[in-house]
Amino acid sequence: MLNCTLLDDYQNMALSLTDWSSLRPAVQTRSLQQHIADDETLIATLADSDIFSEAVEDIAAWLHHQPLRSLL
């Protein structure tokens, strides 16, 4: 089984925004609501994760504040 961790899910909504059941039983998913700024703590937290990503609202907020040219 693969472990997937969703980072910075501040609103605790990432697991409810989509149907993750299609990944089971191959992937177990968890979300972390708190931001982990310390590198050592982040590494330890993700040690058992095979997949990790930032939560959707974090990416959307980042894209909203970036000039379009910086994305090209």
The 3 state secondary structure assigned to 30-72 is EECCCCCCCHHHHHHHCCCCCEEEECHHHHHHHHHHCCHHHHC
Each of the 72 residues of the chain gets a pLDDT tens digit; together they read: 999 999 988 888 888 888 888 999 999 999 999 989 889 999 999 999 999 988 665 555 555 555 544 544
The whole-model pTM stands at 0.71
Which of these, 66, 46, 63, 60, lies nearest to 6 by C-alpha position? 46
